[in-house]
Amino acid sequence: MSSQPGYFVGIIAVVIAAVLWGTTGTAATFAPQVSPLGIASVTMGVGGLLLALVAARPIARHKTALFNNRLLVLAAAMNVAIYPLAFYSSMKLSGVAVGNVISIGLAPIAAALIEWTFDKQPLNRRWLISIAFGITGVVCLATAKPASSFESTATSWHNSVGILLGLVAAFTYAMYSWIARRLIDRGITSRAAMGSMFGLGALLLMPVLFVTGAPLLASVNNFSVGLYLAVVPMFLAYLLFGRGLTVVRASLATTITLLEPVVAALLAVTIVGEKLSLTGWFGIGLISACLLIATIRRRVKSKPTPLHPVSESST
């Protein structure tokens, strides 16, 4: 496999995943009767089971390796289950703007710190510059983005708890991304790694879905929204994200997903009918610059080698 084409295919896969994730907020506005916990549990719960189902054969082939790495798989599953609950609850308590800034904007920093701690990956100047552009852009976009149907008037106590939950969401997202990459580096294909992680995480979310998911069955509209969220932004997007992680570091992948709030804002303008100020458009420009700086590779004399040699054709 040629490493350079493979690298760009991985980048494109993560970009498409981020675009699909950016549709979740707009989709959820079409089912306002469903609570954030209901949205979170159906998205990750049903979507995670689908990921495990289609990855049944790769999981079976890698069962020995998965068993040998069972602590990592279990840790990833716990982070998978916690992430959506913390993310949607953060938006509920602190508002969509603050919830998105903390959960999405700080995830690349969390990922880089995790890689620095466990993998001894250096925090180079180019990454620091790109992440500064990205976080500034997310802040600009969040302050300019109108509230969605999830947002409520937050008291100072609610806001503090919401910020804390946003930090939890950022860390858990970065952690399960890093664990997925580590499993892939140990010779487990991305479908087997993602399927096992999200399948177990989905099982952990089933009690939450049972308690909060009744409104999803109250109407065809609510059911359709839940089905879309589970199949497209969850199932399909995480297949693509896992494919990207075969050649892209977790810190870079989470940086690319800063594209998510850009897509969410554009959809809010074009579909929901919200207006975006000049500050918001400036934020989109900064995030675009962040992605450009972070993803373009410098030319090197020697032929680069892929970060992981496993081909997805084996899945």
Q: To the nearest whole percent, how much of the chain has pLDDT over 90? A: 37
Rg (CA), the chain: 19
Which uninterrupted H or E stretch holds 227? helix 220-229
Is 90 exceeded by the pLDDT of residue 45? yes
Per-residue pLDDT averaged across 12-22, rounded?
90
pLDDT of residue 20: 92
**Quick one: how many helices (H) and strands (E) in the chain?**
16, 0
Q: Which pLDDT score is estimated for 197?
A: 95
Average pLDDT taken over every residue of the chain: 81
Closest CA to 267 of 252, 282, 279, 284: 284
Alpha carbons 66 and 85: distance in angstroms, whole number: 26
Q: Report the percentage of the chain scoring pLDDT > 70.
A: 81
Q: Within 10 Å of residue 235's Cβ, how many Cβ atoms?
A: 21
pLDDT(23) > 70 = yes
User: Mind listing the pLDDT tens digit for each residue in 153-204?
Assistant: 445 666 677 778 888 998 999 999 899 989 988 999 988 999 999 999 999 9
CB 171 within 8 A of CB 250: no
The single-letter DSSP state of residue 234 is I
Say what the pLDDT of residue 246 is. 84
Which residue did the predictor score with more confidence, 251 or 31? 31
What's the confidence (pLDDT) of residue 311? 39
Cα 313 to Cα 315: distance, rounded to the nearest angstrom:
5
Per the structure block, which two tokens stand in for 42? Answer: 């159906």
Predicted TM-score of the model (pTM): 0.77
Q: What's the confidence (pLDDT) of residue 155?
A: 58
CA distance 87 to 25: 12
In contact, 151 and 96? CB cutoff 8 Å: yes
- Res 305 pLDDT > 60: no
Residue of higher predicted confidence among 67 and 292: 67
Contacts of 173 (CB under 8 A, 6+ apart): 79, 83, 87, 103, 107, 110, 254
pLDDT tens by residue, 59-89: 999 999 999 999 999 999 999 999 999 988 8
